[in-house]
Amino acid sequence: MEWIFYALILATALVLFKKANQKESTRSTWDAPTLKKSQPNAQAPERRTQQSEKPNRWNDGFKYAPDEAWPFAKRRLITDTEMVLFERLKEALPEHYIFTQVQLSQMVSIKKGHSFQRWFARISRMSVDFVVTDKNLNTIAAIELDDKTHYLDEQRQAADAKKDKVLTAAGIRVIRWRCEVMPSKDQIALAFPEA
């Protein structure tokens, strides 16, 4: 099932790449008037030559230069606050697996009869802080650790409501805990009576 997901992402990337190249090839590379047929040896203005010598650029200005150093640095998957909850989850649920920063697209599927592209686009960038599974990797719950931005920002609240609706529709229990009142090991165990 996982290979289907990666195949769809690859196919989407190829379609977007082709569209970008089509737009680039149809765009005029210089502003000079069209040369007349009576001038077969006429040279294009110098601007066209200079344009063709430039490196390939994406629409956002990113220069693809595979031989140059790329601007990436390693980072932790979770914050210090999330790390505290992660350790408590491991202690409270020793017979379970805890995953961090899981994409919703890995947790749910689109039911037959509905447009995959349309519904996938709605959730493709959404993730949850933690996913708790049993030993067979069956999802038991999704856990979100909310800081005060989740309560003060209307857009964040709308995104949270959308995420909760997706998970609930798929039959996945959503647990939300606040950073300010993070649950203890015992409180976590109470939230998972099946454990």
Domains in the chain, CATH or no CATH each: 2-53 (no CATH), 80-191 (3.40.1350.10)
Select the more confidently predicted residue: 155 or 63. 155
Largest CA distance in the chain: 87
For residue 9, which phi and psi values (nearest 5 degrees)?
-65, -45
- The string of pLDDT tens digits covering residues 104-138 is 988 998 888 888 788 888 888 889 999 999 999 99
pLDDT > 70 in the chain, percent: 67
Note the pLDDT of residue 26. Answer: 47
Q: What is the CA radius of gyration of the chain?
A: 25
Whether 17 contacts 30, CB under 8 Å: no
Residue 40 pLDDT more than 80? no
What is the residue type of 192?
Answer: F
How far apart, in Å, are the Cα atoms of 22 and each of 25, 47, 51, 56? 5, 21, 17, 14
Q: Write down the pTM of the prediction.
A: 0.64
pLDDT given at position 31: 42
pLDDT of 74-107, one tens digit each? Answer: 999 999 999 999 999 999 999 999 999 999 988 9
